Structure 1
Amino acid sequence: MSDRHPAAPLTVLLGDYPHTRPLKDGTVPVDGVDCRHLESSPLPPAFARMVRDLAYDICEMPMATYLQARDAGIPLTLLPVVLVGSTHHRSLTRLPEDPAIGPGDLVGRRVGVRAYGQTTGLWVRGWLREEYGVESSDITWVTTEDVHVAQYANPPYVERSAAGRVGDLLRSHDVCAAVLGPKAIGGQGAGLVPLVPDAQDAGEAWIERHGTIPANHLVVVRDDVLRDRPHAVHAVYQALKRAIADTAHLRDDSPAGRAVAAGWSASLTACLETAARYALEQDLIGKPVDVAAIERETAFLDT
C-alpha cells in the first residue's frame, strides 16, 4: 500500500530528550518525510490538545491518557515507543515536618495528585493496592487539574481543588500526602519525604515481579494518518528507534534509563497489560483492554 499524500508534512510533537533531539536537529533523518517538529512547554497541554482536537499527526502521550482515549473511542493508535518511564514508589510524598505515616495509613485520608488521570498516579495507586491493600476508593484524591480526555468523568472519591499546584495542597495541610511526577519531585517537591522509606528497593522489586518498568510517556499517531500514510509513519518510527539506539550510551542503568525503548517486546506487553489492569481497577477506564489487538495494529512497523 502506498501513501495517499506523500508530499504533505507530518506534524510531530515530542518532548525534548536526548533520544528525540536527533530527529529534531536532523542528525537522524526521517527518510522521505518532511517532519514539522512542534514544541509545547510545558508538555501536558499538548496531550490534551491531541486527545481533544487531534491537533498533531504524531504526538507523545502519557500511558493513562492513551488508555482513557482508547476507552473513549478517540481515533489514535499506539506506536511501540517508550520515551519516559521509571518506578514510582518515590512519588508518594509528605512534608518532612509532618507525622511519619506509611502508605497503609492513607485509608480514609486525602491525597493530592495533579489529575486523577495522571500516569504517575495510575502507577502509585497500582502498587498501593498490590502491596498495601489500599483501594483507590479508600482515599479522597484531591486534584489541581482536569484529566486530558474530555469524555471522562472522575469517580465520586475525586475532588477538584482551586490550588495551583499539588505542593500547595501539602503546604496548606489540605492533604496528608501527595503524588508527584519525576520532574515535580525535583521542583515543587524538593525536600519532601517519601512514604516508602526503601523506595528504590521497592521499585526494583516491582520490576522483578512484573517483568517490566512502568512507562509514563509513549507515542501515538492519528488513525487517519496511519491509514493514509503508513510508509511515512514507518519512517518516523524507524528514525526514532534508531535515535534511541544511538543515544543508549547517554542513559544509565537506573529504571528511568532502562525504560526508554522502541519496538514490541515482552516487557512492553507486560507494561501495557499491567497498566490496563490498574486503570480498570481504578475506574480510569470502563472495559478491559485487548493488548494483543494494540500490538497487531502496528506490527508492520518492525518489518
Structure 2
Amino acid sequence: MSNLRLTMGCWDYDRTRSVMDGSIRPDGIDLTCLSLPVEETFFRMLRYKEFDVAEMSLSSYVVSLFKEEWPFIAIPFFPSRFFRHSSIYVNANSGIREPKDLIGKRVGCPEYQMTAPAWIRGILSDEFGVPVDSVTYRTGGEESPNRSEKLKLSLPDNIKVEPIGPGQTLAAMLRDGEIDALYTARKPSTYEGKNGTVKRLFDNYVSVEREYFSRTGIFPIMHTFVIRREVYEKNRWVAQSIFKALNASQQKTYRDLQETAALKTMLPWAVAHYEETESEMGADFWPNGFEKNKKTLDVFLRYSYEQGLSRRQLKAEELFAPETLEAFVI
C-alpha cells in the first residue's frame, strides 16, 4: 500500500525542522513541505485551503470554528509561543507611561482577530485593569498598506474597530502620533529603542514576563497545526501520525539545545540560557499535548469570547482531533 501524499505549510522553526527536511517522516505519509512566512501560510490556508496540513494562528482557528462548515481540525502541537508584554509599542508623546494610560487611546493592531493582540488585550484587562472596550482599535498593514482581516468578524457594538486609510501604515502612524499605541507580533520598523519616539510600554519586559509566568504558569500559545477537515475525515489516523512526527522533531531540538561539544546555534551562551530557562520553567518548557496546555488554552478561549471573537466560550477539548487528546502509553 502506498503512502498518503500530503502537503504542509509551516515556517522554518528549529522544533519543526526535522519534519520539514524529511529526516523525521510521519507514519504512512509522504509529506511535501513548504517553508513560508507565517502571514503567507495563514492567508493561503484561511482563504483558499491550499495545504492539507498547516501552521495556523490560534485565534484565527478559533474564529473559524464558528463558520457553518468547520474547515479545519487542530492537533495540540504549538510551534509558536511568545510572551507578548514586549509587543506593546507606544508613541513617547502620547502620555502613556503605564498600562492604565492606554484607556481612551487610539491603538493599532494589524488585524483585530490576530492572536498576539488578543493575548495582549486579555493580559492588559486581567493584569492591569485596561478593559478591552476602553480603546479605539485601528486596523491595517503594519509596514505595507491595505491589509484587511483574513476572516469576516461580527463584533459587539462596544468594541470599536476602524480600518486605517488605504495609503497608511500602522508603523508610520505610530511614529507620527496618528495612533498612540500598537499591539502587534512584529517589531515595527519605526521602533527606536527606549529613548526614541516609538518605544516599548515595558522597557523591562523580560522581568515583567518572567514574573507573569512565575505567577500564572502561562507561556502564551500563538500558533497550532490544523488539518483540512475533509483530509482528516477520510483518514483519521493522519492526526496522530503528524502529531507524533512533530513531537519527535521537537524532542530532537531539546537535545540540540543541550549539546555542549559544539554549539548548534550562533548564540555564544546558548547552553547557559537553556539551563536558566529549564531552571525557571521546567525541563519541558515548551510543552505540547492537550493536558499540559489546557489551562493556557482555557484562558485564551475566555479572552476570545470576552473580546467578541467567539460567539460562545469554547472548551479546550473542542479544538482538537479527539485521537490526540490522550497520550499513548505502553
Instruction: Place the TM-score, normalised by the shorter chain, in its bin.
Output: 0.7 to 0.9
Deviation at 1:220, TM superposition (A): 1.0
Counterpart mapping for 1:47-126 below 5 A: 47-73=42-68, 74-96=70-92, 99-126=95-122
Q: Which residue of 2 aligns with 1:245?
A: 251
**Residue 165 of structure 1, CA deviation:** 3.5
Q: State the AA in 2 paired with 1:175.
A: I
**Contact 1:91–1:179 under 8 Å retained in 2:** yes
The one-letter amino acid paired with 2:222 is: N
- 2:148 is aligned to 146
Aligned length: 293
Moved more, 287-296 or 184-193: 184-193
Q: 1:185 aligns with which of 187, 192, 195?
A: 187
String of CA shifts for 1:57-111, please: whole Å, max 9, x gaps: 1110111111111133433111111111121111111245654522101111101
Question: Do the aligned residues in 1 keep the contact of 2:93 with 2:177 (CA within 8 Å)?
Answer: no
| 1:234–1:301 CA contact under 8 A, matched in 2 | no
Q: CA deviation at 1:36?
A: 1.1
Matched, 1:45 2:71: no
Which residue, 185, 206, 215 being the options, matches 1:209?
215
SS of match in other structure, 2:80: strand
CA separation of 1:32 and 1:188: change in aligned 2, threshold 3 A? farther
CA contact (8 A) 1:83 1:260 kept: no
* SS of residue paired to 2:301: helix
Amino acid at match of 1:177: A
Q: Secondary structure at the match of 1:238?
A: helix
Match of 2:309 in 1: 284
2: distance between equivalents of 1:122 and 1:115? 10
1 CA distance for matches of 2:47 and 2:175?
33
Once the two structures are superposed, residues 117-160 of structure 1 have per-residue CA deviations (whole angstroms, 9 ceiling, x without a partner) of 1111011101111122211111001111322223x235550110
Q: TM-score, normalised by structure 1?
A: 0.86
* Distance (Å, rounded) in 1 between the aligned partners of 2:41 and 2:149: 13
Partner letter of residue 294 of structure 1? L
Q: Which has the higher contact order (CA 8 A, sep 6+)?
A: 1
Matched, 1:29 2:31: no
Maintained 8 Å contact 2:137/2:162: yes
- Is 1:17 matched up with 2:48? no
User: What amino acid maps onto 1:178 in structure 2?
Assistant: L
**In structure 2, what is the Cα distance between the partners aligned to 1:298 and 1:189?**
44
Matched, 1:170 2:174: yes
C-alpha spacing 1:200/1:108, structure 2 compared with 1 (3 Å) = same
Deviations 1:213-248 (A, max 9, x none): 101111111222222122333222211100001001
Root-mean-square deviation (CA, aligned residues, Å) is 2.6
Q: Find the aligned partners of 1:189 and 1:43 in 2 and give their Cα distance.
A: 22
Moved more, 140-149 or 193-202: 193-202
Question: Structure 1's 49 and 265: CA in aligned 2 closer, same or farther, altered over 3 A?
Answer: same
Q: Is the 8 A contact 1:89 1:196 kept in 2?
A: yes
Deviates more, 1:186-195 or 1:236-245: 186-195
TM-score of the superposition, structure 2-length normalised?
Answer: 0.80
Q: Which residue of 1 aligns with 2:266?
A: none
- C-alpha distance in 2 between matches for 1:146 and 1:258: 37
Shift of 1:291: 1.5
Structure 1 258/173 Cα, relative in aligned 2: closer, same or farther at 3 Å? farther
Distance 1:84 1:122, change over 3 A: same
- d(CA) in 2 for partners of 1:97, 1:66: 37
Separation (CA, whole Å) in 1 of partners of 2:15 and 2:192: 26
Gaps of 5+ in 2: 141-146, 258-269
5+ unaligned residues in a row in structure 1: which ranges? none
